[in-house]
Amino acid sequence: MSEGGPWVRLARQVLRRRGAVAAFSALLLIVLASAAAPLYAAWVGVDPFASDVAGTTIRDGREVDLMQPNDNPLHLGLTPIGPDWRLGPYAMGADPQGRDVAARVLYGGRNSLLISAASALLCLAVATGLGLAAGYFGGWVDAVLSRLLDILWAVPVYLLAISLSIVTIGHALHLGIVTIASDNLLIPVAIIALVYIPYAARPLRARALALARAEFVLAARALGASHWRILTREILPNLLDTLMVLAPLLMALCLLAESSLSFLSLGVQAPAASWGTIIQDGEGLIYTRPMVAILPGLAIVATVLALNVLGDALRDVLDPKGGRR
Amino acid sequence: MTVLLEAHDVRRVYRLGGGRVLQAVAGVSLHVKEGESLALVGESGCGKSTLGRALIGLEPVDAGAVLFDGENLATLTSRRRHALRGRMQMVFQNVHAALNPRRTAGDSIAEPLRIHGIGRAAIPERVRVLLDLVGLPEQAAVRYPHEFSGGQRQRLNIARALALDPALVVADEPVSALDVSVQAQIVNLFRDLQARLGLACVFISHDLAVVRQMADRIAVMYLGAIVEEGEGMAVLAAPAHPYTRALIDAVPRPDRPLPPPLQGEVPSPLSPPPGCRFHPRCPHAIGRCREEAPILRDIGPGRKVACHFPLI
DSSP B290-308: HHSPPP-EEEETTEEE--S
Q: Answer yes or no: is A12 within a domain.
A: no
Q: What is the pLDDT of residue A4?
A: 62
Average pLDDT over residues A74-96: 83
Q: What pTM value is reported for the model?
A: 0.85
Q: Residue A277 is part of which domain span? A: 17-77+89-322
Task: Look up the ipTM and state it.
Answer: 0.88
Q: Answer yes or no: is A82 within a domain.
A: no
Helix, strand, coil share (%) of chain B residues, nearest 5: 35, 25, 40
Higher pLDDT, B130 or B257: B130
> In this complex, is the C-beta atom of B100 within 8 Å of any C-beta atom belonging to chain A?
yes
For domain B3-87+204-305, give the CATH number: 3.40.50.300
β-partners of residue A9 are: none
Q: Answer yes or no: is A264 within a domain.
A: yes
> In this complex, is the C-beta atom of B94 within 8 Å of any C-beta atom belonging to chain A?
yes
Sort residue A245 into left (φ over 0), alpha (ψ -120 to 50) or beta: alpha
Q: Answer yes or no: is A4 within a domain.
A: no
Asked if residue A322 has pLDDT above 50, the reply is no
CATH number of the domain within which A241 lies: 1.10.3720.10
Q: Count structural domains, chain A.
A: 1
Best to test chain B binding among A3, A7, A10, A216 (most B CBs inside 10 Å): A216
Q: Answer yes or no: is A210 within a domain.
A: yes
Q: Answer yes or no: is A257 within a domain.
A: yes
Q: What is the pLDDT of residue A195?
A: 93
What average pLDDT does chain A have? 88
How does residue A1 score in pLDDT terms, banded at 50, 70 and 90? very low
Q: What is the pLDDT of residue A88?
A: 82
Average pLDDT over residues B31-58: 91
Give the model confidence (pLDDT) of A114-163 as tens digits: 999 999 999 999 999 999 999 999 999 999 999 999 999 998 888 888 88
Q: What is the pLDDT of residue B209?
A: 85
CB A144 within 8 A of CB A182: no
Quote the CA–CA distance of A196 and B63 in Å, as a whole number. Answer: 46
Q: What is the pLDDT of residue A51?
A: 85
Average pLDDT over residues B81-97: 90
Number of Cβ atoms within 10 Å of the Cβ of B173: 22
Asked if residue A171 has pLDDT above 90, the reply is no
Residues of A with CB under 8 A from a CB of B: 1, 3, 5-6, 214-216, 218-225, 229, 233-234, 237-238, 240
Q: Answer yes or no: is A10 within a domain.
A: no
Quote the CA–CA distance of A55 and A78 in Å, as a whole number. Answer: 13
Q: What is the pLDDT of residue A319?
A: 65
How does residue A16 score in pLDDT terms, banded at 50, 70 and 90? confident
> In this complex, is the C-beta atom of B85 within 8 Å of any C-beta atom belonging to chain A?
yes
User: By C-alpha distance, which of A248, A259, A311, A278 is closest to A97?
Assistant: A278
Average pLDDT over residues A158-186: 80
A6/B102 Cβ within 8 A: yes
Sheet containing strand B21-33, edge to edge, reads B21-33, B3-15, B63-68, B71-72
User: By C-alpha distance, which of B16, B289, B85, B39 is closest to B187?
Assistant: B39
Pinpoint the alpha helices (H) of chain B.
48-55, 78-85, 105-115, 123-133, 150-162, 180-197, 208-214, 232-237, 242-249, 287-291
Q: What is the pLDDT of residue A323?
A: 42
